[in-house]
Structure 1
């Protein structure tokens, strides 16, 4: 067993995609032959994957447009590559991979979801109907696993929790960078919050902007950096202007230097309405940043309330602002202790090398016909 295909909906700078890329690179370095298939045209990571000799292929589908021809494109790729394992990620790729199994032999197919919410009843029905076509479904938080069982997307004995992993070497506190990066961003001695992620409904940026407005009303010197892009970015910039926050919120766009931004910040905030297991919370933890997060999906599995940060109810800007104010009222030593606790926790639970080893064990046991449910 040494050949694996990862298939996912698209390849962009987002959490699920970043995790797939880390798994692919880690396995390639361990001697696997790896290929990645993107259903739509990939927008990121091509150079990094090419440098390691990882093949990247697109099915050239159009976003939001079903195309049955993709089944046969995928069939040809599988026939040529002859993988031992296909590991699909996110709902569209999971369903496509399962249906394609009607037309081509695949020794083992594993489906991974990355959220508590991948769509409504129709998608959950498709998961349920195609479940016999994969060996197992996994999700990235225990909360998400429980949600999928409750929605009857997967039988209880065919779904398991396998967390995301983080490369701790890439994310660590570097005090020497603090002043340098803040100077580059035009920051001085303000309290700086960082948020990073796509401008999509799930991230609920209106919740964050309204919460930050309550803080900024009391402290004009605090700043909020938001890194990312997406369909809702323009409307969120408009919301910030309408609330006279354009001088306190910086929209940074897509950034490839998130570790540096972490080092320029005093705390991290995430305001999601729903989540799976946000990679960015693992990155913030590894960077020793204390965090404020909405208590959805796997957020509460990373942010330990009062230990590594604070949790707020979702869609509640008043409570989110209260938790952010509490964080700002702590001494720098107390915040540093929270950040230290956060790094120790992800080191124990989410180190990428340990997660890759776990995946190798799962691949091996299913390939050899042994069940690994409820591990």
Structure 2
């Protein structure tokens, strides 16, 4: 099958990693894949030499990237003649739908990766252009319900297709943990959080919760992997809460599986998510997870972690303390259960095959 993936950009984020991993997996299954993007900033690691990556936006990182990219997309579709176009995230979805007016030969699948993808204007844009797409999906049942309730899609028309985790990349071993912790030069218990510095990730929630823990104990550290527009705000809050010696901002990293192994607890503090990909990655690495009940995170965790309400640092801190205080046997048991859940429900190979079934069952 000849498949064209289109995404807004390749910055830091779960959606971007998922698209790259899925493209890689589909090439392994024998399909021809190209990945096109609009915004020039590239930070996601492209691990596969087997699919082409195309800059539609002419190396721009502003509105002109979308204007130029729209016409580049039309040319690419006409030249490539893909069997399926799979568009991810808002801008790519809208532009891919509009491109069908000029290049109608391909099946078009559109995927949002969030339970909250903007305000009323975006929901209207989704609904107004829906007739130009063949399938509209999201990454969790809760996200689908939210989109339909907000009018982005007609009730009963949006599909749920879960994200997939590369369980051969995310796994726990004592050797990996030891190798990862030695350079860290710490004997403290580590809480890890990964995600861009964006309002959706609600790092103030995590920092306020962590400050409550530090009021009671000094044997913990919080490491945050990511970058973004809110970095200065986060740095100021760390200073304000007197957490400078306890919190490390690691920036953008390409060794997330190793950092997962090094950590003791994974924390997700988001106000909203679509699926919570990084939660499933932590579970695959047999980490104890404490996460907010947002988007599809509850569906992912099941009974294999701690779930807390959003925007409640006090309850978040209580669950983080419980996770940190687990006995070794309890921690290991929970970790094994978590990995088994991911392996059975969210393996990348299983999800890739589900997408192929979606592509094949589209009638145009």
2:125 match: 126
Q: Distance in 1 between matches of 2:161 and 2:212?
A: 38
1:311 maps to which residue? 307
- The alignment partner of 2:152 has SS state of coil
> Do the aligned partners of residues 224 and 67 (structure 1) sit closer, same or farther apart at CA in structure 2, a change above 3 Å counting?
closer
Tell me the matched-pair count. 363
Aligned to 1:193: 191
Provide closer, same or farther for how the CA distance between residues 67 and 39 of structure 1 changes in structure 2, counting only shifts above 3 A: closer
Query: Residue 56 of structure 2 contacts residue 69 of structure 2 at CA under 8 Å; is this kept in 1?
Result: no
Equivalent position of 1:136 in the other structure: 135
The 5 Å alignment of 1:40-79 reads 40-45=39-44, 48-49=47-48, 51-60=49-58, 61-63=60-62, 67-79=66-78
1:347-366 matches, within 5 Å, as: 347-366=343-362
RMSD: 1.5
Q: Structure 1 stretch 139-148 or stretch 179-188: which is displaced more?
A: 179-188
Q: Structure 2 length normalisation: TM-score?
A: 0.96
What's the offset of the Cα at 1:66? 7.6
Alpha carbons 2:280, 2:301 under 8 Å: kept: no
Q: Which residue of 1 aligns with 2:339?
A: 343
Q: Match for residue 36 of structure 1?
A: 35
- 2:37 aligned counterpart, secondary structure: strand
* Residue of structure 1 in register with 2:91 after alignment: 92
Q: Is the 8 Å Cα contact of residues 86 and 106 (structure 1) preserved in structure 2? A: no
Identify which range, 204-213 or 169-178, moves more after superposition.
169-178
Task: Render the CA deviation track for 1:65-111: whole Å, top value 9, x for unaligned.
Answer: 68544322211111111111100000110001001111112321010
In structure 2, the gaps of 5 or more residues are none
Q: Decide whether the 8 Å contact of 1:135 with 1:158 is kept in 2.
A: no
User: The residue matched to 1:250 in structure 2 has which SS?
Assistant: strand
The CA deviation at 1:46 is 6.9
**Per-residue displacement from partner, 1:186-240 (whole Å, max 9, x unpaired)?**
211x221110110100000000000000001101111111111111122212211
Matches of 2:284 and 2:90 in 1, distance apart? Answer: 29
> How far apart in 1 are the matches of 2:46 and 2:360?
30
In structure 2, the partner of 1:372 is: none
TM-superposed CA distance for 1:157, in Å, is 3.4
SS at match of 2:69: helix
Distance 2:330 2:46 in 1: 41
Q: Which runs of 5+ in 1 are unaligned?
A: 370-375
Give the conservation status (yes or no) of the 8 Å contact 1:42–1:58: no
Alignment partners' CA distance in 2, 1:102 and 1:292: 46
Segment drifting more, 112-121 vs 7-16: 7-16
**Cα distance between partner residues in 1 of 2:179 and 2:85:** 44
Aligned to 1:226: 224
